[in-house]
Structure formats: C-alpha cells, structure tokens
Amino acid sequence: MVHSTSLCACLSLLTVLSCHSHVLPRLSFPIGSPGRSLTVFTNPDVYNTTTLLLSNDEGTLFVGARDAILSIDVSQTDNMTIKEKLDWSPSEKDLNDCSMKGKMKMDCHNFVRVLQELNSTHMYACGTFAFSPRCIYIDSKTFAMATIPNSKPEEGRGRCPYDPYQKNTAITVDGELYTGTVADYRGTRPVISRHLSEGSHVDLKLDDTLGWLEDPTFIRSTYAPSEEKVYFFFSETGKEYDFIEKFTVSRVAQVCTSDVGGQRTLQKRWTTFAKAQLLCQAAQELPYNILQDIVSLPPMEGASEDETLFYGIFSSQWRVNLGRSAVCAFSLKDIKNVFIGRYKVLNRDTLKWSTRVQEQMANPGECGLHNASDNTLRFVKDNFLADKSVAPVNQGLTIVSPDKSYSNIAAQRVRGARGRDYTLLYLLTESGYLHKAVILENGAHIIEEIQVFHQPQLVKNVLLSVSKGAVLIGSSEGVVSVPVSNCSYYWSCAECILARDPFCGWDPVMKVCTDITSHGHLVQDVDEGKVSEQCKNVTPRSRSGQPRTHSSEVVSVSLNEVVHLQCPEASHLAKRHWERPNSQLSPKIYIQPDNGSLSFVATPSTLGHYLCQAVENGYTQTLTVYHVKQKSNPTILAASPSRPQSTPAAETGNKNPISTPRWMIPKQPEPRPKPEDVDPSVTHKDSLAITIKSRNFTRLSGTNEENSRMIEPGGNLQQVNRPTYLQELVVVSVLLALCISALLTIAFNRFRHLCHSRTVPQTPPSHRDAEKGGSATPQERESLRGHSPRLEKRNGQAPNNGQAHNGKSPITLSNSMLNASNGHLPNTPI
C-alpha cells in the first residue's frame, strides 16, 4: 500500500489551480438595511426552528423545533404569524436518563429532525427525544397527535438520529418513509432504510456487510417518478482510494421503490442499491470532494425528466482549497448513464476494490432484481460501486467562491422578459449571508447578498416558496423570510439593467423598475447588461419619483489643509475614479486609495471641482460632485498700533484667509530705498522691515525659476505643497542675528577701550607748555590723565560709543593733538 506521504508526488501536478474569476456580489445589504426588507419570526419560548415543511398550497409553514412543532401562516410574504403550537417534550425521567448516559442536559431535549407529509390527512414527525428517537402521527386538520388504537409511540431508531447534531435525510413516497441516518446510540451504524411499508412491500434496509456505507454524512434525498427510484446524496470515506488515508468522496446512491428484497439472499435487504461518485472538479485542479448540500431543479415544462439538474455545494479537504466553496451541477441523465455502466468488485478477503474484467451477470441498480436468482443477487451484493464518476455539467464548476463557505442551497427557474429561462440559486453562507445568483453562459452573476443572521449558524435549512416568492430559512434564531425580488430598489434604467435580475425590468412608460410578472414590454438584458443599448433616451428617476441627479457638495477648507473626499459605492462591481474638469490628477499630488476616496493638500491650484465617477460593464455614471473652495473667514495679520496695516485681500474684497506665498508671485525688481525716501512717521518696526527687505532677506532657498517649475501650465502642482513658514523663520533669524551681533560688538569694543585706557602712558605737563598755553581746561586735564570725555552730540549726531569707525580701532588722544586743536578735541568721530 502506498502511504499518504507518497501522495505528494502524485498530486504535485494538480496543485496548480486554474484561473477562476472571483464571483463577487454586486450589492450587499446588512441586517436592518432600508433597501432590503426581511420578515423574521421569533418566539421567546421556541428554539432551534431548523426543520421546515411547506404545505401543498404553500400558505402554511410547518416547523420542527425543540420540544415543539409549529404551524405558521406565511400566506403574506411580509408577515409570519403562528397559528398552532404542538408541545412534544420528554418527561423529567427521560431527561434524567439522558443525563445519566453522560450527555449534556441541553442536548437531551427533543429535537424534531423528520417532518414529512404522509398523506392528505396526516403528517409524520420524528425527534431525538433525549437520545431515544421517537416518531408520532399528526392530524393535519386539528394539528394534534393522532391516536391509533392499540399502538404505542413508535420507536424512531433507523428513522431519526440519536444526536441532534448528526445530519440525516428523509422523504415520503406513496405513504412510505425513506430515510438515511444512523441506527445506534454511538452513531456507528449508518443505514438507508424504508419504513411504514404497505401492501406487499416490506420494510427494507441495507445489508450490514462491510463496504456498503463507510462512515457517511447524509445530506439530501429526492424522488424520480419516471424512474421509480429514490436518490440519496451523501459524503463518505472512499475505500477504493487505498493509497490515501481517509479520503472523503461525495456519493449518489439509488434504490427502487418497487424493491421488496430477495427470497433467500438479501432477505429484507435492498437488492437495487448502487452508488457512484460525484466529481466536482475543474481541469487541472484538486477536487471539491465534500458535499455540503444539494437540491434538485425540475426540468422546464415539456422537457424530459432526464433534464433534471442537481445543484450541489462542495468544499474541499485539501489545504489549497480551504475556505473556498464550489457549486457543481449534475444532470439526471448523466447519473443514469453511470449506473448502467461498469461496476467495481470488492474482494471480501483483502477488502480491495478492482475493476471487473469477467462477464457481468446482472446490472446492479436495475429494478426488478428481487425475483433474480441467488447467484445474481450475490453478484449484486459484491458489485454496487459504479466504475465511473458522475461528471458535472459542462465539465466544469458553476460557481467558485474564493472567500465564502456555502452551507445550504435552493434553486428555481425564472422566465425573463425576452422569454428565456434563467436559473437562480440561493446560497446561504456559514457567516449568515444569502447570495442570490443567476447562471449565465459566461459564468455566474451574484445579484446581491443579504445578511439574515447576526451570528453563524451550525444547523440550517433553506426552503423556497415559488408561489409566494420568498426564501424561507430556519435557524436557531428563528425563521426568516426573504423576498426573491427587490426591483423597487433600482432607481434608474441603468441600475435596473446593470442588476441583471431576471425578476426585474424597466418600464419606459412608468419610468420604474418593476417585476416582470406585473407588466409587459419591459426593458431587460440579463445576459449582457448593456445600458447603452437598453436605456436610450431614458430620463432617470429617483426612488421618490423625482428626476434624480448626482449629489453636489461644497467643501470649505483652509490652505495647506489635507482634504479627504469620499465617494459612495455604486456596486461592488463598479470601478470608481476621480475626474477634474480640464485637468489630470497627478499621483504626485493626489492619493486615491482602494476605498474610492481622494486625498490631497489644499493649495490655490488644487481648489475647484472634483467628480467621482463609476464604470460598470462599460457604463459610466457620475456619483457625486465636490466644489472645494477656500474658507470665507480671512486671517488678518497683526499691525502696529501707530499704523494699521492693510492687506491686498482686504482692499480688493477678496475673502481668502491666507495670502499667496511670496515664492508663488513673480519677483519684481525693486529700487534700493534711499534714506530721504523713508517716511519719518514710520515706526521703528516698519523701518526695520524696510531695512530687511532692502537687504533681500525674504528670499527663499529655491529660486523663482525652480518654484515655477513646480506648477504645471494647467495650474496643477507637480509636487505636494507642504505647509511652510520659511519666510517668517528667515526674518526672525536675521533679526536675532543682528541683535546678537550688535550686543557682542558693543561689549567687545567697550572691553577693549577700557583695557587700552589703562595702558596709555600718563606724561605730566611740562612747565613750558603751561606757560604757552596757560592753565589747562578741565577737559584738557581729564584728557591728559588718559580719560576721554563722553561726548553728548557731535555735528548733530549721537556718537557711536565704543565702536570702530570703518573697521578701525578707537582713536586715542595725545598731547600733540590737543595742542594742534588749540585746546579743543578734534572733530573726528569716535
């Protein structure tokens, strides 16, 4: 035997997945959305409403719940009211016995798992009943337990599972019950059986011989009247793949309703049992091998029953496909062809399967074998597995969900406005969403998804009421009714066509999207969804009946502010993009994330109009328009108290709050101001500003030519204009540097002057000089001592104390200079 580790080499060529288009829902409706109405039935005293049965007129819904069976009026799609409630609870002794077996008390209730219409007067129900299955008859008129003389409550073993979490299937045909379930407390004896047999029929079940069923999980059963066969769908371990350990496969099995068992061999056993593999697999891919749910779709009116289709949901046990679900369709014709083909043979000694090469004595699965010989029945007993697998229709997958796990399915056929029939699938996800999908020639199209549960549900059931136009879903939270159509949600001809819903069409006269069953001559294009061809000369109207235009909004911002513009989503299939009239949105300035928004910095060149548009299936529509403008509250710079300053914006009436930066204004040559041109009334602050301007301190690091290259001819910036205060920083820095330099110069010269005065030699005046010049004045005497008198004013100008003149050292007075000036200080600036 080849071990499972050897499988890697065998499957390495299959790990390359073919490209599947990710089928996304076009619209999403969370719980409570105003655009999608739901009807929910809940009762505080009712739990686990998971087993559903519709009456023949589809006006009443029978619900199997925990410890109860309900009758609910569903004649109105927007209202569900309870009519009757039948209590069916285990006794206290039953609950205690269940707890003694080691089961949790909450699992020991009676969970109704079989609810079938037996005939025109009675229904049949089976429940787990504290891990001791029981069944009852219910009078359809009085909705009460029917009392049968000399009868006890029927034991439900083989008809209903013991464990409420185990899956099962049941169907009634001509008053007889066909079930697929487990027949023991541990759940290790799977069985397909017939009960309530009448006339010449007897109750039948599978032989306990090893190999008929291998740990199956029953999903669904259906009846084919023309074949007089009941088909069972389930998953089990595929023992024919002996090189893989516990490889799960999906099966379809059949039994004939006319089977009564063999006379000696296979007494009270099925003689017509046969099974085949359902292969949900695309080319060069690993198979989706685990069946989750399956539903039958009857053929079109007048077509052969062989055209019956079975749509199944499959998951995969392979890691490469984890989290993905696939939908495959199988035809009854293909299933019949597989069952009339060759069969594998099981060696009872080695438990190995092989393809039979000797002559075939009988055709397994053929009806009427109950009268066959013992040799023929022994041949059938060892040859019940078809050699070939049932391939999907068109040899491919119908739907592949990349990130959703589907659990339940319902299907119906709808005739569109053009007379063509379309298949609609209703797929329930494990996360609580219902997907409505239409099958087209080029693939599936998911029209919408509707959230129906707040929390994921483990046990669910989906039932379709075609006459009422509703999908009924049973869960532990209650029963939810979802209308199959939602045409009034689409407000325009374009939306109605893009939805591609077979139920909906556009009425060009009433200008509404309506149901195709209520009006004629509607515009519809489910296959292509071409708006340009179907909506010519059509004026869109809103949901309120008024002509609808795109929304427009004014956004007031400040310059250098980051602007975020949001765009509504038309659908998940539409691609949104932004437009600006007569301009292009450069990625260097504008950021467009995946959520459809637009972000940029507000500058004079980025103000203006912005349009968000959506493109879907070749049709472009404008969703919203924004007008980004500057705020109207201007920011005025503080002026000097002696002279109020006025800005050009205030003079011209401009409301822009922030003046245009200087680097964006072309530089004009300015004459150097002369001292006589300065207004004597200008304050010290103003004169300082003039001095700084004359020295060209307002110039930025980049030249005007460099800054001008950042602006496109159309007015768009090629580079994001970040908020900057470089101009103010330069002015403050220059002022601070001048102040510090002046202080340092004054301190340095003062210190130098003091040191120099201390080192000058003091020569006493000679007697000769005293005679010529007479007595010295006090100023002269002070100068002779080495001290220079402080001059208050010279030539009308205040002297600059302690500062050098033209870069020279301070002048030191000597005796010769005093003599030359006739006793007065020279007129030399210090």
Sequence spans of domains, the chain: 487-534, 550-728, 780-830
pLDDT of 670: 42
Do residues 70 and 82 lie in contact, with contact meaning Cβ atoms separated by under 8 Å? Answer: yes
pLDDT at 51 over 60: yes
pLDDT bracket for residue 756 (50, 70, 90):
low
Rounded percentage of the chain residues whose pLDDT exceeds 90:
53
Instruction: Name the residue type at position 322.
Output: L
DSSP for 272-329, written as a single string: S-EEEEE-B--TTS--B-EEEEEEEEPPPTTS-GGG-EEEEEEE-SSGGGTT-EEEEE
pLDDT of 783: 43
pLDDT of 427: 96
Q: Phi/psi zone of residue 107: left (φ > 0), alpha (ψ -120 to 50 degrees), beta?
A: alpha
Cα separation, 23 vs 242, whole angstroms = 36
pLDDT of 517: 81
- Which has the minimum average pLDDT: 321-325, 409-413, 705-709? 705-709
pLDDT of 723: 53
pLDDT at 55 over 50: yes
Enumerate residues 6+ apart whose C-beta is below 8 A from 165: 107, 458, 459
pLDDT of 771: 41
Q: What is the mean pLDDT of residues 609-621?
A: 94
pLDDT bracket for residue 550 (50, 70, 90):
low
pLDDT at 671 over 60: no
Stronger pLDDT, 544 or 144, i.e. the higher one: 144
- Which has the minimum average pLDDT: 194-198, 369-373, 567-571? 369-373
Best CA proximity match to 448, nearest among 323, 571, 281: 571
Stronger pLDDT, 822 or 602, i.e. the higher one: 602
Q: What is the mean pLDDT of residues 768-781?
A: 44
pLDDT at 327 over 60: yes
pLDDT bracket for residue 641 (50, 70, 90):
very low
Q: What is the mean pLDDT of residues 475-499?
A: 93
251: part of which helix (H) or strand (E)? strand 248-256
Q: What is the mean pLDDT of residues 227-245?
A: 91
Q: What is the mean pLDDT of residues 291-320?
A: 93
pLDDT of 246: 86
Q: What is the mean pLDDT of the chain?
A: 79
Cα separation, 548 vs 535, whole angstroms = 15
What are the structure tokens assigned to 736, written together? 């601070």
Stronger pLDDT, 371 or 688, i.e. the higher one: 371
Stronger pLDDT, 719 or 179, i.e. the higher one: 179
Rounded percentage of the chain residues whose pLDDT exceeds 70:
73
Do residues 289 and 301 lie in contact, with contact meaning Cβ atoms separated by under 8 Å? Answer: no
pLDDT of 371: 84
> Three-state SS for 624?
strand
pLDDT of 150: 52
CATH 2.60.40.10 fits 550-728, yes or no: yes
Q: What is the mean pLDDT of residues 689-697?
A: 35
pLDDT of 34: 87
pLDDT bracket for residue 310 (50, 70, 90):
very high
pLDDT tens column, 96-125: 999 998 999 999 999 999 999 999 999 999
pLDDT at 355 over 60: yes
Cα separation, 466 vs 462, whole angstroms = 13
pLDDT of 153: 67
pLDDT of 152: 62
pLDDT of 467: 92
User: Which top CATH class is 487-534?
Assistant: alpha beta
Cα separation, 361 vs 741, whole angstroms = 118
pLDDT tens column, 807-828: 433 433 333 333 343 444 333 3
Q: What is the mean pLDDT of residues 76-94?
A: 93
pLDDT of 434: 95
Stronger pLDDT, 765 or 36, i.e. the higher one: 36
Do residues 381 and 388 lie in contact, with contact meaning Cβ atoms separated by under 8 Å? Answer: no
Cα separation, 104 vs 314, whole angstroms = 31
Enumerate residues 6+ apart whose C-beta is below 8 A from 516: 416, 417, 502, 503, 504, 505, 522, 524
pLDDT of 664: 37
Q: What is the mean pLDDT of residues 262-277?
A: 93
pLDDT of 396: 87
Q: What is the mean pLDDT of residues 275-289?
A: 91
Do residues 4 and 244 lie in contact, with contact meaning Cβ atoms separated by under 8 Å? Answer: yes
Do residues 295 and 327 lie in contact, with contact meaning Cβ atoms separated by under 8 Å? Answer: no
pLDDT at 782 over 50: no
pLDDT at 405 over 50: yes
pLDDT bracket for residue 716 (50, 70, 90):
very low
pLDDT of 634: 53
pTM: 0.73
pLDDT of 284: 82
- Which has the minimum average pLDDT: 384-388, 482-486, 603-607, 653-657? 653-657
- Which has the minimum average pLDDT: 448-452, 719-723, 811-815? 811-815
End-to-end, the C-alpha distance of the chain in Å comes to 115
pLDDT of 357: 62
Task: Output the CA torsion 792→794→795→801 (10° steps).
Answer: -110
